[in-house]
Chain A
Amino acid sequence: MKNTSKIVAGLFSVAMLFTSCNNSDSSTKSNGALSSSAAEKVYVAPGEHDEFYAFISGGFSGQLAVYGLPSGRLFKVIPVFSVDAEKAYGFNEETKPMLNTSHGFIPWDDAHHPDISQTAGELDGRYVYINGNNTPRIAKIDLTTFETTEIIEIPNSAGNHSSSYVTENTEYVVAGTRFGVPVPQRDISIKEYKGNFKGALSFIKVDQEDGGMEIDFQILMPGFDYDKAHPGRGDSHGWFFFTTYNTEEAHTLLEVNASQNDKDFIAAVNWQKIAEYVKNGGGKKMPANYAHNVYDEHTHSATSTMKKEVLVVDPTEVPGAFYFLPTPKSPHGCDVDPSGEYIVGSGKLSADVTVHSFSKMIKAIEDKKFAGEAYGIPILDFEAIHAGSVKQAGLGPLHTEFDGKGYGYTTFFISSEVVKWKLGTWEVIDRKPTYYSVGHLMIPGGNSRKPFGKYALAMNKITKDRYLPTGPEVTQSAQLYDITGEKMELLLDFPTIGEPHYAAGIPADMIKGKSKKLYKLEDNKHPYAALSDADTKVVRDGNTVHIYMTMIRSHFSPDNIEGVKVGDKVYFHVTNLEQDYDVPHGVSIIGANTSELLIMPGQTETFAWEPKQVGVWPFYCTDFCSALHQEMQGYVRVSPKSSNIELSWSLGEDDEDEDEE
């Protein structure tokens, strides 16, 4: 009898176990032990640092946000393609050239795919590259200053979307065009799209010393839409893979007309071969017009240079360098596993994830297993290159990253989930919902040879009811999953800036020690810098007035300026003389038709002011810098245009002194 009751009790508790398991699986709102451990996993105590940096693209905000993982805390929004009044990016005289293009100054773009520089296929944490989608550009962000230090415009391109991915040793940053356009641009009927429009794939050579960019060559591919891209790794190093859609070459109602072909392509491009071809004089120089903007850390200023020529390559002239891999249903994500063997194409109108084998691809090329050709580029036989498919994994696969332990993690937009599957067997291991409609996901290093497979970050397009409502426009979000176990575990979701298209993550220890604390005054080579109070002055040149001003806790020098007249153009060149960590000062003046300046220690920045009214106008420090911050202010006297008051400037002069003058 006793034994029976023990057995019954035992069964009962087993049943309880199952029930509770089911509960925690089916309901994410469980308040059980699981959710409390999720809180612990993302809790970073005050004063402690996160384990990873996440650089999350701002999409239509044009910027790049820096978050910590696992906490999801936002540290900085790095202005890249959009003006930022807070940081004076695109407003001060120094950074205006950064946003120059062949179309003139552009205050905005759509920032998509950040990628961290690599050495030997592993993250090296020197730079982040990111693409501007609308007016095609690639930007470089320096990870010692966390500032945008270079932007290069991409000619002959439109919808710069299959960008900005780096090769294994950051030899190249690659930028592919999403929208076919006439090359060169000309006045032709849109109906003449087919065969006349081109898709340029640009290979931007990276200077190994300073990360600087220069377009080495552009491949003028057929006018398909090149959607996403990924470099080969290991054995496939030297190749680049681009997904395509609209192989139909439709130019109107693409949602229907570009979805007719059962299979589109992944374009396999042997860039090493083409680089060699170009080096030996191959390709053709064509006239172009594109901006190359470089920010110098010592002059604290950017310069914009217009480039007038670009080298283009006709793919039919480099046999053996281009192949099309048929891939079902308008593939979006194009991802290569850490070994370099598997090329994953996510047919976004499909339920399957298609995986090609690099070694089979090479063999198919050797065996000439072609299924035809398109514009002179051989199409490989699907069966000959197909490694396998993750079957019925979900709806609308978009993008895959890897954990380095033999698993792929693919996002499914339509069925709104992340699916974990096994490389080689293609079986689905786990699936977890996202809230809602996930785009990309990111595992730190998850697109490199060495992923840090601890977390996956899913980036969602839609949040609806997930947060407190804020009117019709609500935030986008990122969701953090623990991927250390067999099953993924949702730990956290947090709002993001703009629309996060993609992110790049890196262990914090790899870069945080290199983060600059300040700019050294002795390295300041700004032409209008005043490196001490003795250098301050006000100089008139016709209607232009240059004020060489300094700022240090807690005053400006000079802080009284007279002799400015209505109609003058007054440049405030302001140098922050501080040499202490985290002591920026800001400045602006009434009626300035531009943003404040926010000047880091040791830096010089300039804003222009065109006084329109007679009077005495105060300026002040806009960053609470010190106990005497409120006293950090000054005046500019503006006299009528006809006035003959001479320029004068001072700091700390008593009234008596002035009487003596």
Chain B
Amino acid sequence: MKRSRIIMIIGALLPLGLFIFPLWNITLEAPQYPIPLGMNIYINDFADANPHDIKNINIMNHYVGMKYIPDAIPEFKIFPAGILISSFIGLIIGFKLNFKWFLGWFILMITLSLAGMYDFYLWEHDYGHNLDPKAIMKFTNADGTVMGFQPPLFGTRDILNFKAHSYPRFGALFLALGMGLSFLSYFIGKKESRQRVAT
């Protein structure tokens, strides 16, 4: 089998790592939490970084009127299906179709990932801004608007007494690597086809 196909197939398989490793992690640091509170986001679950972290994040957040982190969201069904289907498509492309499709799969994955990120942003925004009107503590910004508590999409941000970190985890690395390999396989495939034409 040609090198480009092998790379494409590996690339198509790598996103399956998301079923094992978390995609994202949000960590909250504060002086009273020498071991920070953390939540790992899997494609099908929110999980404690350390036992009971989500429960304790909920207890903290209820003071400012934030909703409880849900046990399940519709995305937990959609994302795994999306990953399975796109890996399957990637495999078909890797085995059967020519290198131009490799680029096609890469673009598909970029689009899906961006859509996922946007969806995540929307959820975060709602989580951080859709506050209980009977919140125990209400904070306003300097301009008088109600303060939101949205964690950053990517990076680190101070939220009241907490420092919130939001960064990709191992699962995201698998996804990115898979996409990177499909992109690479496109160029290798292109080179291989030129060589074939030349010979």
Contacts and interface: CB of A to CB of B under 8 A. Distances in A.
A164 B136 CA distance: 53
Contacts, number: 16
B51 interface: yes
Interface stretch (B52-60, B94-102, B116-124): B52-60
Nearest to B56: A580
B19 interface: no
Most interface-central of A578, A579, A580 (chain B CB within 10 A): A580
Contacts of A581: 35
A654 to B, nearest CB: 11
A256 interface: no
13 contacts: A552-B59, A578-B59, A579-B52, A579-B55, A579-B56, A580-B52, A580-B55, A580-B56, A580-B59, A581-B35, A627-B63, A628-B63, A628-B136
Given A579-B51, A579-B52, A580-B52, A553 B136 contact: no
B101 to A, nearest CB: 50
Contacts of A552: 59
Contacts of B63: 627-628
A49 to B, nearest CB: 12
Interface string B117-137: 000000000000000000011
A358 B11 CA distance: 75
Interface in A608-644: 627-628
Contacts of A578: 59
A249 to B, nearest CB: 60
Q: Which of A552, A581, A627 has most B Cβ within 10 Å?
A: A581
Interface in A566-617: 578-581
Contacts of A553: 59
A580 B34 CA distance: 12
Nearest to A517: B51
Contacts of B59: 552-553, 578, 580
A581 B63 CA distance: 19
A263 to B, nearest CB: 58
Interface string A537-561: 0000000000000001100000000
Interface residues of A, number: 8
Nearest to A47: B34
Nearest to A518: B52
Interface string B83-103: 000000000000000000000
A99 to B, nearest CB: 33
A580 B37 CA distance: 10
**Pairs of residues from A and B, 8 with the lowest C-beta to C-beta distance, nearest first:** A579-B52, A580-B56, A553-B59, A579-B55, A628-B136, A580-B52, A627-B63, A552-B59
B83 to A, nearest CB: 32
A519 to B, nearest CB: 12
A93 to B, nearest CB: 27
A521 to B, nearest CB: 9
Given A578-B59, A580-B56, 7 more contacts: A579-B56, A580-B52, A580-B55, A580-B59, A581-B35, A627-B137, A628-B63
Contacts of A580: 52, 55-56, 59
Contacts of B52: 579-580
A153 B137 CA distance: 54
A69 to B, nearest CB: 23
B17 to A, nearest CB: 30
Contacts of B51: 579
Contacts of B136: 628
Contacts of A579: 51-52, 55-56
A633 to B, nearest CB: 15
A555 to B, nearest CB: 11
A627 B136 CA distance: 10
Contacts of B56: 579-580
B92 to A, nearest CB: 45
B89 to A, nearest CB: 42
A627 B51 CA distance: 23
Interface string B36-71: 000000000000000110011001000100000000
Nearest to B52: A579
A579 B35 CA distance: 14
Contacts of B137: 627
B133 to A, nearest CB: 14
B147 to A, nearest CB: 16
Contacts of A628: 63, 136
Contacts of B35: 581
A553 B136 CA distance: 12
A517 to B, nearest CB: 9
A364 to B, nearest CB: 60
Nearest to B32: A582
A35 to B, nearest CB: 34
A580 B55 CA distance: 9
A109 B52 CA distance: 40
A554 to B, nearest CB: 8
A651 to B, nearest CB: 14
A97 to B, nearest CB: 31
A228 to B, nearest CB: 43
Nearest to A578: B59
A579 B56 CA distance: 7
Nearest to B55: A579
A578 B56 CA distance: 8
A421 to B, nearest CB: 45
A578 B58 CA distance: 11
Contacts of A627: 63, 137
Nearest to B59: A553
A223 B136 CA distance: 70
B157 to A, nearest CB: 22
A463 to B, nearest CB: 36
A628 B135 CA distance: 12
A629 to B, nearest CB: 12
Nearest to B35: A581
Nearest to A552: B59
A553 B51 CA distance: 18
Q: Which of B35, B52, B137 has the most CB of A within 10 A?
A: B52
A5 B55 CA distance: 80
A581 to B, nearest CB: 8
Interface string A32-46: 000000000000000
B73 to A, nearest CB: 22
Interface string A436-459: 000000000000000000000000
B51 to A, nearest CB: 7
A445 B137 CA distance: 52
B137 to A, nearest CB: 8
A580 B137 CA distance: 22
Nearest to B60: A553
A552 B59 CA distance: 9
A580 B30 CA distance: 14
A487 to B, nearest CB: 40
Interface string B128-155: 0000000011000000000000000000
A426 to B, nearest CB: 51
A578 B52 CA distance: 9
A553 B59 CA distance: 7
A442 to B, nearest CB: 31
Interface string B148-179: 00000000000000000000000000000000
A627 B59 CA distance: 12
A552 B60 CA distance: 11
| Residue among B51, B59, B136, B137 with the highest chain A CB neighbour number at 10 A | B59
A428 to B, nearest CB: 48
B193 to A, nearest CB: 59
A552 B68 CA distance: 15
A581 B35 CA distance: 10
B162 to A, nearest CB: 14
